[in-house]
Amino acid sequence: MEKPEIWLSFAPELHLFVAAARRAGRSAVRTDGVSTLGHVVESLGVPLTEAGALLVGGRQVPVSHVPADGEEVTVLAVVRPQPLPGPARFLLDVHLGTLARRLRLLGVDAAYESVDIGDAALATRSAAEQRVMLSRDRGLLHRRELWAGAYVYSHRPPEQLRDVLSRFAPPLAPWTRCTACNGTLREAAKESVHEQLQDGTERAYDAFARCTDCGQVYWRGAHHASLNAIVEESLREFGSPGPAEVLPQAVSDTA
Ligand SMILES: [Zn+2]
């Protein structure tokens, strides 16, 4: 029996994943007659985390649809903001440390593995903690265990941040989270942080916060201007702040 031939076209956002010959208009694919459309799309290089609606003859079908001969398939990009089945929490792979710190600066829950624990362990953690896996590794995003995943389109941290904020629209709560470990900050009395401060810091500042997880102490300091610029720009573009700031204009030295 002749194997079915179908016609596929991809949204421009997906062109970087597919071979050059599939970027201009529609192109033919011969399928095996039993594979799902989701499998066919993945086999052409597009992680299903990046595929939005799948249309056959203009009508939406599930990824489990088995394409028949002659079908015209359109693969759309994900809609932004993309709804999630739970709160917007993230897990970032070893290459996205700067993005992780910037998300935390904005109060977004961003777990990050600073050592490479491997794709299987990352996928397992994404599932166990219901976190969106953020990565530039397409192979990792193909893993079935992921709770949710998203390809990070740029290698530059400022664009990466805008990409994630525009895609998932997480609530922003700047200066409430530890940029070092992702823990939450709590206001701290000056006396209580005394031992962790150098003389100059203690004299110059009055507002302090401490991470409830790792104990790191935060205050307003030298890098304030650049971090504040990231916060202001993000708030301007992606919404109002959430819960009250624990430490107005606090600073970390790591973002
Ligand atoms: Zn911490």
How many whole angstroms from 149 Cα to the centroid of ligand 1? 25
Split at pLDDT 50, 70, 90, the class of 208 is: confident
Residue 218 has pLDDT above 60, yes or no: yes
Count Cβ atoms below 10 Å from residue 143 Cβ, excluding itself: 19
* Span 84-118, pLDDT tens digits: 999 999 999 999 999 999 999 999 999 998 899 99
pLDDT at 222: 53
* Span 145-174, pLDDT tens digits: 999 999 999 999 999 999 999 999 999 999
How many whole angstroms from 51 Cα to the centroid of ligand 1? 35
How many whole angstroms from 160 Cα to the centroid of ligand 1? 23
Q: Would you put residue 218 in left (φ > 0), alpha (ψ -120 to 50) or beta?
A: beta
- Least confident residue range of 20-29, 185-194, 218-227: 218-227
pLDDT at 239: 81
Q: Please name the residue that has the structure tokens 């507002």.
A: 207
Mean pLDDT estimate for the chain:
91
How many whole angstroms from 207 Cα to the centroid of ligand 1? 17
pLDDT at 253: 47
Which residues lie at CB < 5 A from ion ligand 1? 178, 180-181, 183, 211, 213-214, 216
How many whole angstroms from 35 Cα to the centroid of ligand 1? 47
Beta strand segments in 34-188, E: 51-56, 59-61, 72-77, 90-92, 110-112, 132-135, 148-151, 185-188
Residues 6 or more apart in contact with residue 147 via CB below 8 angstroms: 85, 86, 126, 127, 129, 130, 131, 132, 133
Cα 54 to chain centroid, rounded: 22
How many whole angstroms from 246 Cα to the centroid of ligand 1? 14
How many whole angstroms from 106 Cα to the centroid of ligand 1? 14
How many whole angstroms from 119 Cα to the centroid of ligand 1? 25
